[in-house]
Structure 1
Amino acid sequence: MKQIVWCCLVAVSLFACKPKDYTKYTHDPFLYAKTVKQLNDVVLQNNFSPVVASRNYAYANIAAYECIAAGDSSYRTLHGQIRHLPQMPRPAAGQQVDYQLAALLSFVKVGNAVTFPEGVLMDYYEQLKNGADSAGMSSDMLDATVAFSDTISATIMQWSKKDQYAQTRSSEKFTVLNEDGRWVPTPPMYAQAMEPHWCDIRPLVLDTCTQFMPPAPPKFDLSNKNSAFYKDLMEVKTTVDSLNEEQKHIAEFFDDNPFKMNVQGHVMFATKKFSPPGHWMNIVGIAAKKAGADFNTTVAAYTQTSIALFDGFISCWKAKFSSNTVRPETVINKNIDPEWRPFIQTPPFPSYISGHSVISAASAEVMTHFFGEPFQYTDTSLVEFGIKERSFKSFRQAADEASMSRLYGGIHYRCDLEEGQKVGYQLGKYVVTKLELKRKSSSAVQATQPVAAR
């Protein structure tokens, strides 16, 4: 009996002395998806507009990606690919760094810096460090990883401050022209134009914000029932007036209104959902998990998709505020039926072209590049808001549906969708072609363990 007890004690002692594999924690791709969701929730809770949200996601993901590229020779830095991105710092010589943990910490630190309230993500930042410590990472490696992450975060933040974002906060107010065919604020909020100077923001990959400009929209014409504008207008009205349950679900599923104002009698209250870029960030996580993507591939997919979202909004906003096209709701209320309302709430900016069509098509091209086509998945992003999931055979099918949701919702003309998708497709292809994240050389070996700085 004593021998049995002794053997058990020895076994327990040996097991307790066995080093923990901290990489099971720090290299878990789902942990990165969870970390992106943390930022997504902050964006949601603090009412960031879709265009500003795209900036938050892009800089945070780029910071994470540069950590991965520093430790994995099969990935290329974005320095030299994004023309204005500076060269990234390297770890101190001889330091053992866990580059995956550095990516997580850099994402959070940059995400924290570009959002508010101040310090909103830093409790989660501490959780990540404590998790690595509890998983068995040595204090020396943890310190070296934090130090390296800090240098990347500081470099990305310094670079981000030169993108004209601060200057657009004080740009001249947009002037509303109360003329036929021109955009004016819409009910129930009658909010001023959202980010009218966003086209002044520095792009990441585009040469200029006009690189993929669509043709001019159909001329405003209600006098001729055969005019392209009149036909598009009436299609919006008749579509909304005869929606079936499937079309309603599609409209609600891709509504993605980050701040919907509800009116019930004399009571007004707001409800929140993910904005379009937040929705697509969620889809990246769903796809990466289903594909069984490793940590580094997951970070790369998030990063390139966020870059497409960021440049997509810059391109789209240039088109919107150049054409300054009136929304269907305004025209129908003024000329056909003053009581008519769209199925979803009209957002506060011009109609042509559809932003959701642009960024969905662009995101779909990037994600198809990473995960292939067909790629069947179920999007559960809206379940937390009480909206049933939808399943898709490909990312392009989802992008098509996201685009059509704007017609079902009654907030866009068909030309907004078709030309928006063309711009998004071209832009997405350009981002995939322009940026080589994964090296083509088959001899590159992925670093799965921490490596010392070279």
Structure 2
Amino acid sequence: MITKPFLFFLFCGIILCVSCEKDLPTYLEYEEYSFTGLDENGGTWKPVLFDQVSSITLEAPKEITSQSYKAEVTALKSAIGQMTDSQRESLAYWGNNPVVRWNEIALELIAKYNIIPGPNDDDSYTLPSPATPDGPPGFPFAHPPYAGRALAYLSVAQFDGLIAAWHYKYRYNRKAPYQQDTSISFAYEPNTLPSYPSDGAVLARVSRKILTALFPLEATYLQELEQNHLESLGVSGANVASDLAAGSTIGDAVAQLALTRAASDGMKNAQTPKAVSDSIKQAAFNRFGWQWENLELPTRPVGLTPLFGKVKMWNVTNVEDVRPVAPPAIDSESYLKDVQLLKDHASNMTEEKRRIANFWQDGLGTYTPPGHWNRFANEFIVEHKMNPLRAARTLAYLNMAVMDAGISCWDAKYYYHYPRPIQTIPGFKTIAGTPNFPSYTSGHSVFSAAASEVLAYIFPEKAELVRNWAEEAAISRVYGGIHWSFDATVGTRQGIEIANYTIHKAQADGSD
């Protein structure tokens, strides 16, 4: 007998086959480059997770005249002399800005785990749980809110870790081995960045720990990646063993701070039992006289993360301060105008509208809308030849804004509980699926507007480009029939407002 779970996963498999061709993360190839600057004052920048860099302690390194350091240099030369083809490939892969590579690894994992948990034979649902990650179903379900949160914690931990690394690099100012000994070759473009502690080791350790907590079934894979990264650093010519150990020490300390915050940010309560979900739905009906009904097939009994809007934000004090105005009442003039607008789009669907709807779909098996904007950011980072600290700063502010935007959007979704077009327009059909959460406001619009504003701040020459992309992402959901036009326009304003909180914080971190 063919069971319901079998049909469900067959359906998901079809979606994955279509979406993976476009949206699975790809290896970003680029020529090795000289950093446009080293940000020598980077150790004075304001971190996110702690108040003072001095709270991350690191002992002074051994003098370069000491026997222990000389022994480390001898070991480094020996390792370089015995370098294997595999190690050379690793050097090429990680490059001199591994912030990009670890971000790509996160995108890969998000895409892999962006699969809806299926129903049991009796129509009940078992939710993924970090307490039993093997499931079934496996943990996590890397939906857009989960993806945005994962990228935020990874990027913030990387940023803070590198601020601490820069602080001690220029405090102790130990030259890299290849700068001291001309017989040691350097794998990348030379620079004068001090070697102690190793910034690469900070990234390897903190990234592995954060991603392992978020994707526990990938622990072995991530451990192997960390070891591979550290091994490549050990033959790059930039670091000796004590540099790597010091970087790992910083990575451990910062990862613990990030994971402590994550444990108490409210995410564990975001996916609610049915009784709670039903009470949220009833409260909206009592307020407004409408409520969203889930029309996906097969139907899950609970919407996606009803209490994600209660998760702790990074740069907004109170989510209610940024809650948008109420959507139009059902059967009001504004509502009826939008009904006609959606019908017109559906009746006059062009190849260009369909292309836009498909390009921004970012559905199951993809790295989701937050991942889409991280991909853009990685390309800009390489184009601008940023050093690792500057790159980490870019992704940290981008992803804090994206996570805050998602929290604000989900607060509005479940506070207003507004129906989707497919629910209230008789016979209406979408070309982009049926999400299992309320309509107002559009997640694509809020995520994209917030991301584009942060990227416009960091890359002002890209401002028009990224804002146009955000507008296209917003209208794509209207073309797809998933959202009302006011979901998109109000959501865009909402994302911009959220981004301004993050940009204000960035402007005061000492980096400009």
TM range (shorter): 0.7 to 0.9
1:250 aligns with 2:375: no
Structure 1 equivalent of residue 150 of structure 2: 56
Match of residue 445 from structure 1: none
Whole-Å Cα distance in 2 between the matches of residues 432 and 275 of structure 1? 23
**1:28 shift after superposition:** 4.2
Whether the aligned pair in 2 keeps the contact of 1:25 and 1:131 (CA below 8 Å) is no
Structure 1, residues 129-176: CA drift from partner, whole Å, max 9, x if none? 121123243222222222221121122212221112223355654115
1:126 maps to: 227
1:105 to 198, 205, 222: 205
Q: In structure 2, how many angstroms separate the alpha carbons of the residues matched to 1:165 and 1:18? A: 45
Pairing of 1:22-421 with structure 2 (within 5 A): 28=95, 30-47=97-114, 48-72=142-166, 96-119=196-219, 120-136=221-237, 137-169=239-271, 173-175=276-278, 181-191=290-300, 192-221=302-331, 227-257=333-363, 259=364, 272-332=365-425, 336-337=426-427, 340-374=428-462, 394-421=465-492
- CA distance in 2: counterparts of 1:363 and 1:189, whole angstroms: 32
- TM-score (norm: length of structure 2): 0.67
Alpha-carbon separation, structure 2, partners of 1:55 and 1:65: 15
> Which deviates more, 231-240 or 414-423?
231-240
Partner letter of residue 338 of structure 2?
A: D
The amino acid across from 2:330 in the alignment is: F
Following the alignment from structure 1 to structure 2, what is the Cα–Cα distance between the partners of residues 412 and 294? Answer: 40
Cα deviation, residue 331, structure 1: 1.4
- Using the TM superposition, give the Cα deviation of residue 107 of structure 1 relative to its aligned residue in structure 2, in angstroms: 2.1
Instruction: Mark the CA change 1:96 to 1:297 in structure 2 (over 3 Å): closer, same or farther.
Output: closer
Q: SS at the partner of 2:99?
A: helix
Q: CA 1:308/1:29 → structure 2, altered by over 3 Å: closer, same or farther? A: farther
Post-superposition shift, 1:241? 2.4
Distance 1:30 1:18, change over 3 A: closer
Q: Give the deviation of 1:102 after TM superposition.
A: 0.5
Change (3 A) 1:39 1:242: same
The Cα of 1:426 is off from its aligned counterpart by: 1.0
Structure 1's 201 and 107: CA in aligned 2 closer, same or farther, altered over 3 A? Answer: same
Please report how far the alpha carbon of residue 280 of structure 1 lies from its aligned counterpart in structure 2 after TM superposition: 1.2
Q: Distance in 1 between matches of 2:444 and 2:489?
A: 11
Matched AA of 2:350 = N
Q: Give the distance between the partners of 1:414 and 1:29, measured in 2 at CA.
A: 44
Answer yes or no: is the 8 Å Cα contact 1:362–1:427 preserved in 2.
yes
Tell me the CA shift for residue 220 of structure 1.
0.5
Question: Residue type matched to 2:232 in 1?
Answer: G
Task: Write the distance in 1 (CA, Å) between the matches of 2:430 and 2:499.
Answer: 30
Instruction: Name the CA shift for 1:174/1:64 in 2 (closer, same or farther; >3 Å).
Output: same
Compare the two structures and name the one with the higher helix fraction.
Answer: 2
CA separation of 1:30 and 1:147: change in aligned 2, threshold 3 A: closer
Q: Distance in 2 between matches of 1:18 and 1:349?
A: 55
- Find the residue that maps to 2:323 and give its secondary structure: coil
Name the CA distance, whole Å, in 2 between partners of 1:27 and 1:99. Answer: 13
Distance 1:168 1:162 in 2: 12
| Alpha-carbon distance, 1:206 to partner | 0.6
Rate the CA distance shift 1:170–1:357 in 2: closer, same or farther, 3 A. closer
Q: What is the match of residue 125 of structure 2?
A: none
Structure 1: runs of 5 or more not aligned? 1-15, 75-94, 260-271, 376-392, 442-454
Q: Following the alignment from structure 1 to structure 2, what is the Cα–Cα distance between the partners of residues 200 and 145?
A: 35
- Contact 1:32-1:104 at 8 Å conserved across structures: no
SS of the aligned residue for 1:394 comes to: helix
Alpha-carbon distance, 1:106 to partner: 0.9
Q: TM-score, normalised by structure 1?
A: 0.75
Q: Is the 8 A contact 1:25 1:135 kept in 2?
A: no
User: What SS does the aligned partner of 2:217 have?
Assistant: coil
CA distance in structure 2 between the aligned counterparts of 1:293 and 1:240, rounded to whole angstroms: 44
What amino acid is aligned across from residue 244 of structure 2 in structure 1? L
Contact 1:70/1:99, CA 8 A, preserved across alignment:
no
Tell me the matched-pair count. Answer: 369
Q: Deviation at 1:250?
A: 0.6
After superposition, the C-alpha distances for 1:313-368 in whole angstroms (9 at most, x for unaligned) are 11111111111000001112xxx32xx42111121111111111111111111111
> Which structure would you say has the larger RCO, counting Cα contacts within 8 Å and 6 or more residues apart?
1
Indicate conservation of the 8 Å contact 2:271/2:306, yes or no. Answer: no
Q: How big is the shift at 1:101? A: 3.0
Alpha-carbon distance, 1:27 to partner: 8.8
Give the CA RMSD over aligned residues: 2.9
Measure how far apart 1:286 and its partner are: 1.4
TM-fit CA distance, 1:112: 1.7
Contact kept, 8 Å, 2:98 with 2:200, in 1: the verdict is no
